[in-house]
Chain A
Amino acid sequence: MELSKENPIPLAVETRALTKKYKKKIAVNQMNMQVPEGAIYGFIGRNGAGKSTTLKMLCGLAHPTEGEISLYGKPSHSPLAARRIGCLIESAGIYPNLTARQNMIMKSKCIGLTDEKKADDLLTLTGLSPAEPKKAKTFSMGMKQRLGIALALLGNPDLLILDEPINGLDPKGVREIRQLILKLNQEGKTFLISSHILGELSKISTHYGIIQNGNLVEQLEREELERNCEDYFFIQVDDPRRALALIQEYRPDIRAEAEDGSTLHLYGLQEGGTMNRYLIENRIQVYASGFHHMDLEEYFLARMDGAGATEQRKETKSHV
């Protein structure tokens, strides 16, 4: 479960046996989460899996039933730790009768900042105009999200906890926020982001945590995920047993696995045409073939369908 047992990188977030119970329902169960400093941590889970509850506990909005939270090595209830985080949980918390700038000034006052120019700069950074006279209640969903992100960035926090930050944004907005996150990450900020848009998350995340029914079923780095989601060339043949032997003889450098009664998966193959021709020349009927890339979505769904689905799949292959 740990990202790295000998991790020399200090942790921005560390939870130990974090548990949240609502009466008899366990929303988060014995969670040991580790978010290294400087990471973009993608937090993935189905609706009701416990993502928002976890993020709320990290932000001090919900009380853990059991366990500990440490932010930058300090207990989460420490005012010093609280100053280092910015959060956008569920919806953007904004006063509807105030303008974007007034909302920003409100949060500035809440933090104790006096420089109003910083608020203007952040509005510009997130694609909003500081001079916009419209009240927040007339904003589109996307504008509200942008304002929510700008509010989270006030006070120059080191850790940003964003719950569904790209909800309601148009494709251009999604790209802008993605670029903003990457830019801020390069400046040293740590991100903990939950999102259902897994494709987007996979473009920026350096680390992943998968939660299922309150249990953190997996934590892994991007490299590990890429290994797990390795590309393969699939080929559907009439005689997979003989085809497998032929492939292993022809290309001993690649890994070949039988997926089911007629399909083979070849890992490490760069070009498929030669392989098809070789099999046909050896009187193997090839019904279908092509390259397959397993993205985060598939991986996530496989993990969600049951713990260790990938492992189960691999075990099945070895029996064929």
Chain B
Amino acid sequence: MFNLLRMDLYRLKRTKSLYICLAFLLAMTILAYWMTWRFQDPEGLGAGEMSLALQSTVETLKNYDLLMMFRDSGIDGGVFTTITGILAALFVSLDFSSGFMKNIMALHRDRWKYVASKLLTAGILNFVFLAALLVYNLLVNTCFGTLVPNSAVDSLAFYFVHTWTVSMGFSALFILVILLTRSSAMGVAAVLVLGSGLGQTLLLNFTALFHMTEWCDYTLYANLAYGPVRYSGMADWKGAVVGLVFSAVYSLLGCIVLTRRDI
């Protein structure tokens, strides 16, 4: 499995889309800080010109800290999972479309090794992206003259672990979709629908007709977008547990799919 992981990391480093996606996320962060700065700038949008909605946004922004900026700049809206999901989908689907999968599978007859190496690669990718985004948030906030107050280190650490675990669940889901469809187009479509929360919103609207909305507390998207801001008790680990459970379930399904189907 570690041979496969080394192989995946070697390729990941040479994947152009990795740097494009990272650049996109960093650009989103700058944009978020710039917009916040514009709203807070008295010479920017004058109070008289602002609509009620904008006034409300400005009031909300006054309560923001670094962690909230970190969340809002790319994670809560599903941008992070969508971007890393697309990357993961393209990365895994290339194994099939290039035919290199034959080289891998002829050597590694235990299919779980393949799924585990892909999940670990996605985990490392998500970790690096999250860490880069967090550090970048700190830097940009400093560059903007500490636009928002810094958050407590323990809150940042908790949220980091929480988000990383949930993002692993998403990665396992997208790997499963690629293993099922073996199509990059289907993979990207699944990422756009599931990673952005669109699928959940549609399903929630439908099930709300029957007063069934509790299931939403246990989805990956809900736990990512509406996760706790700071650690206040064991119940806050629910999101991480949901992420781990979904990671395990989707990985297991991926192993079954790969074992049952010919290459």
**Which residue numbers of A lie inside 8 Å of B, CB to CB?**
56, 59-63, 77-79, 82-83, 85, 87, 89-98, 102-103, 105-107, 109-112, 151, 155
Contacts and interface: CB of A to CB of B under 8 A. Distances in A.
A61 B103 contact: no
Contacts of B260: 63
B106 A90 contact: no
A107 B3 CA distance: 10
B175 to A, nearest CB: 18
Given A56-B263, A77-B109, A110 B98 contact: no
B6 to A, nearest CB: 5
Contacts of A93: 98-103
B14 interface: yes
Interface residues of B, number: 26
Q: Interface majority SS on A: helix, strand, loop or mixed?
A: loop
B154 interface: no
B211 interface: no
Contacts of A105: 10
A176 B103 CA distance: 23
Interface in B49-88: none
A291 to B, nearest CB: 45
A112 B102 contact: no
A202 B101 CA distance: 31
B185 interface: no
Given A60-B109, A63-B262, A111-B3, A106 B101 contact: no
Residue of A63, A95, A96, A98 contacting most chain B CB atoms (<10 Å): A95
A237 to B, nearest CB: 57
B118 to A, nearest CB: 13
Given A61-B102, A62-B263, A93-B98, A109 B109 contact: no
A106 B10 contact: yes
- Between B7, B10, B102, B108, the greatest number of chain A beta carbons within 10 A of the residue's beta carbon is seen for B102
Contacts of A155: 107
Contact of A59 (B100, B106, B110): B106
B238 to A, nearest CB: 38
B7 to A, nearest CB: 4
A112 B3 contact: yes
B102 A89 contact: yes
